[in-house]
Every structure is written in structure tokens, then in C-alpha cells.
Structure 1
Amino acid sequence: MSDEPVDDRDREGPPEPQEGSDEPQPALADADAASPPLETDGEGVVGDHPSPEPTYPDSDDDLGGVSTPPGDEEMPLADHIEEMVLRLAVVLLFAAGGTAIGLLWASQAIEFVWFSVFPSGGNAPPPHVYQPLELWLTRIKVASLLGIMVALPAFVYECYLFMRPGLYPNERKYYLAAVPTSVVLGAIGMLFSYVLVLPILFQYFTYYAEGSAIVAYALGETFNLIITLMGFLAIVFQIPLFIMLAIMMGVTTRRWLAQKRLYFWAAFAGLAFMFTLDPTGMAPILVAVTMILLFEGTLFVLKWVGR
């Protein structure tokens, strides 16, 4: 037995806590007993010790303050583009089919529209063709109107299917209610233009030059004006829907819209004169009056129902 003093570092076991020390000592024995022995092959841990599976948040959980709708799934950008292209192809297929069907009766449709929008009583002026392809281009434009009308419901439905995974249930309800309403309002706007605005406009065109000139209407230019007005009034008739959605979403109130009505009237007049190409000013005035009546009518209905 050696009489040399034993160094503290040569002692086996954990060091004993010193008196007067408040530092907590690690419970090495407890830690060793709690952790199972690990097998290693020199390069890494081996054995039957499966790593814990990563947990992902639920689709309804809050992620960074932004909640995700139920059914929303992460998809690569390429898959989104592919789905969008396929759905657009379906819409174009409906549009092409409607246009092809419309070409069969395009000439009859041109004649029907021509004698409907001009003054009745046999005073409708005959159409004039000034370019070789003017008649065919007009037939294609008229047939395209039918193609658009056929493709519009398909476009609405395909848009809904594309956006459905990213919409909340209440947003789906608003979409399903607002989009058909928008289609109906657009159809009413086109019908309003065809029945009321266009006859008044062409009657004015026909009689304002009476006695001083003979007005000859070009087929292509006349139908350009007809199609432009019908399309623009289809958009104009969305004003009640836009107002209702803005109030429902809390963007504005009926009282604020009523207080700023003069600004809206000026904006309506500016848009009418900007998008309705008529140097006489008759068409912009009719469109502006229609927009103002729709705006004021919507505010009156909201005040009447108390919402």
C-alpha cells in the first residue's frame, strides 16, 4: 500500500458536493438509469431506436397568425399551373363550341339585331359593307357573343373548383351566392342595353342628321358599337353587387356612400365618357344616367330594408 496522497481526480464516482455551495449537482446516476444503452458501429448509433416522427400542424390551426382553411393542401407551383391550364382549356372548349354553333345562324342573328335596334316601321337603314372581310368578321363577333354566354357558367364553375380548397366555408357560401348573381346581373345589363339603350341611341343617330345628310351605317362599325355597349352595360349592372359585398365585408357603410354620392356621380360620368366612344355624347349620357340610377337605387333599397 502506497503512502502517496490520492488525487481527487483519481477517485471513482461523482464528486462530492462542497459544503456551503448552493450550486445544484447533476444527477448523473438518475440520467444514466433513465436513458437506455445505445449500440454503435463506430460511425453512428444502430439498433432498434426509431426516431420520433415529426408532427405537423392541423389544417385548422393558426400558423403565424394566419389560419388555414379546411381542405387546404400545399401544392407545388407547377401543379397549380397545370390545374389552371386544364380548367382554362375546359372553358375555351365551351367557348369554341358555342362560337361554332353561333356561326350556323350568325347571318340570321345579324339581321334580327339590326332591325331590332333601329327604329321600327320600315325606317331601318340597310347595312353597308366597305371591306371584303367585314361581313365574315361581323359574323365571327356575333357568334363569339354566343360562345361567351355559353362559356361564362363554365368559367364560373371552374374558378370555384380551382379556388375551393383555399376558401373557408363562409367564403364558399358568399362565392356561390355572389357569382350566379353576377351572371344574372350581367345578362340583365345586356338585355337592358338591347331593349332600351341601343334603340334610343340609334333613333337619335338616325334623326339628328335628317334633312342635312343621308346616314349610311357600316356593318362592322355598327356592330362594334353594339357589342361594346352590351358588354359595358353588363359590367355596369354589377354596381349593386359590388356595393352589397363592400358593406357585408365591412369596407364601407351605406351612410358613407350616401355622403359621398356626388363624387361617385362624377366618377360614373368620367367612366362613361372614357369607355363609350361616341362623339355626339348621347351614349355616354345614357350609360352615366344608368350607373347613377343603379347606385341610388341600391342605396334606397338598403335604407328601406334597414340593413
Structure 2
Amino acid sequence: MSEQASDQAQHSLPLITHLLELRDRILKVVVVVLAIFLSLVYFSNDIYHYIAIPLTSQLPEGSSMIATGVATPFFTPIKLTIVLSIFIAIPAILYQVWAFIAPGLYKHEQKLVAPLVISSALLFYLGMVFSYYVVFPLVFSFFTSTAPEGVTIATDISSYLDFVLKLFFAFGLAFEIPVATLLLCWTGATTPESLKAKRPYIVVGAFIFGMLLTPPDVISQTLLAVPMLILFELGLLFSRFYVKKPASDDELDPEENTIHKEPKN
């Protein structure tokens, strides 16, 4: 019984160690997000004003945004600041994820993960910038110009925030397609030739994805689907250089690279 108990204890130690490490890394992420939030919370109203410019610049003269709730003018900018703090902390979040999984990777895999982490953060930010400077002006210009005669446009600040956050997330996630394509080919889950053969289905899937992640209008759906297809083609181009190859003996972990040979008769 004592030997069985000791074996169970030895098997449970790695799991406990991983859980403790995961807890520590989550706490580090929370601290980073909290530090960013505390440094930005004083400017929360200014940040909301900047985010609202794409809509307020398109409103008819004399129109403005409104707040329908009693506490909405206070909590809405705070909510935006919290989400913005998480977005800013994405490099730190991705680094903690990479540091957690890196010990279980081979050396050649670790060399590829670091560029993927950096490119993932940059692509996510690029998607947000694209949505703010390209998509928002087109979408809000269309919506405000199609309002029926006699209808005064007065958007609630909370509804507007939910709308733009959904678009920020949708475009940030969509711009990760090159990284996802590289990972699929690098891990051997698929090949560039297979993805190329499935291009018609991917085109349809991009528009369906755009329909699900964006508000129910054709403009937002198209403005999301077209960049997705362009980014897919870009990822497909680079994935040809990152096809999975068998790891060489010197790249493997020494403990896992033990080969047991049968003695010759």
C-alpha cells in the first residue's frame, strides 16, 4: 500500500506543479491588466470620446449621443477602459501563454513560437486599427445617411460601445488568419495544397463568419470577409515555407531520444 501511495504522489506532483505555475501566470496577467487600467481610468471619458468620433462626426448637426441609464455615463467609459486594458495587455498575455507551454516544446518549435506570438499581437492590433479607420467611417456614414426623414439619430452610449467592441474583436480575430494557417500547416493538420483545393468553401465560410461576428448589415459583413480572404491567401503563401518536417535527433530532448536496439544474433 505504501508503494502504491508513493507512486500516486509522484504522478500527482507534476500536475500540482503545473497548476501552481498556471495560477502564478494568471496572477501576473491580472496584475498587468490592473496596472494598465489604473493608469488609464482617469482618462476614461477622453478615451470614450475618441472611440465615439467615427459616429459623432457623421451625426447631423444638432444631434448627439445619449445615455438612457442613470449610471450609464459613469460605467460605460469604465467598461471601455477595462476592455482596452485587456487589449493593451495582449502581448503580456501571449507571452505568459508561451512561457507556460515552452518547456514542453522542442528547440525548433520554440524558435517558431516566439515569432508567432509577436505576429499574433501585431495582427490583432492591425485588425482593430483597420476597423476604426476604415470600417467605422463607412458603416456609420451609411447608417446615418439612410435614416428615414423625420427620425432623429440619438445613439445610446452603451449600445454604441457594445457595437464597436464586437467589431474590434471580430476584426482582431479575423486578422489572425495568417497565423492560424501557418499553425495548421506547421503542425501537419493540413497542407497548403489541401487548403488551396478547398478555397471555394473557405470563401463561403469567410462570409458566413463575417455574418456571425458583425452586425446584421452587408457592409460590415463584406468589409470583414474580404480582408479575411486576402489574409488567408497571404497565410497560404507563407505556409509553403513552414510545412512540418521530422525533428532531427539533436533537436529532440535527450530523455525522449533514447532508442532501444535489439542485440544482433
TM > 0.5 between the two? yes
| Aligned residue number for residue 230 of structure 2 | 293
| Aligned residue number for residue 107 of structure 1 | 45
Is the contact made by 2:98 and 2:117 (CA closer than 8 Å) also made in structure 1?
no
Distance in 2, matches of 1:124 and 1:204, equals 19
The reply on whether 1:192 has 2:130 as its aligned counterpart is: yes
Q: Any idea what SS the aligned residue of 2:89 has?
A: helix
Q: CA deviation at 1:287?
A: 1.5
1:301–1:120 Cα change, 3 Å: farther
The reply on whether 1:244 has 2:182 as its aligned counterpart is: yes
TM-score by length of 1: 0.68
Q: CA deviation at 1:212?
A: 4.9
Q: Any idea what SS the aligned residue of 2:87 has?
A: helix
Bigger relative contact order (CA 8 A; separation at least 6): 2
Is the contact made by 1:119 and 1:203 (CA closer than 8 Å) also made in structure 2?
no
1:270–1:289 Cα change, 3 Å: same
Is the contact made by 1:125 and 1:217 (CA closer than 8 Å) also made in structure 2?
no
| Aligned residue number for residue 72 of structure 2 | 134
| Aligned residue number for residue 281 of structure 1 | 218
Amino acid at match of 1:285: T
Q: Larger helix proportion, structure 1 or 2?
A: 2
1:125–1:200 Cα change, 3 Å: farther
TM-score by length of 2: 0.78
> How big is each residue's C-alpha offset from its partner over 1:64-119, in whole Å with a ceiling of 9 and x where there is no partner?
xxxxxxxxx99432222111111101100111111222211010111122124554
Distance in 2, matches of 1:117 and 1:216, equals 10
Is the contact made by 2:185 and 2:239 (CA closer than 8 Å) also made in structure 1?
no
| Aligned residue number for residue 46 of structure 1 | none
Distance in 2, matches of 1:246 and 1:300, equals 13
Identical amino acids, percent of aligned pairs? 25
Is the contact made by 2:58 and 2:140 (CA closer than 8 Å) also made in structure 1?
no
The reply on whether 1:168 has 2:83 as its aligned counterpart is: no
1:255–1:123 Cα change, 3 Å: farther
Gaps of 5+ in 1: 1-72
In the TM superposition, what are the counterparts of 1:22-41 in structure 2 within 5 Å?
A: none
| Aligned residue number for residue 26 of structure 1 | none
| Aligned residue number for residue 68 of structure 1 | none
1:185–1:123 Cα change, 3 Å: farther
Is the contact made by 2:181 and 2:239 (CA closer than 8 Å) also made in structure 1?
no
Q: CA deviation at 1:227?
A: 0.9
The reply on whether 1:206 has 2:144 as its aligned counterpart is: yes
2:14 to 76, 84, 88: 76
1:98–1:241 Cα change, 3 Å: same
Amino acid at match of 1:130: T
Is the contact made by 1:190 and 1:233 (CA closer than 8 Å) also made in structure 2?
yes
Q: CA deviation at 1:121?
A: 9.4
Q: Any idea what SS the aligned residue of 1:106 has?
A: helix
Is the contact made by 1:193 and 1:229 (CA closer than 8 Å) also made in structure 2?
yes
Is the contact made by 2:124 and 2:173 (CA closer than 8 Å) also made in structure 1?
yes
Q: Any idea what SS the aligned residue of 1:76 has?
A: helix
1:301–1:155 Cα change, 3 Å: closer
Distance in 2, matches of 1:179 and 1:300, equals 19
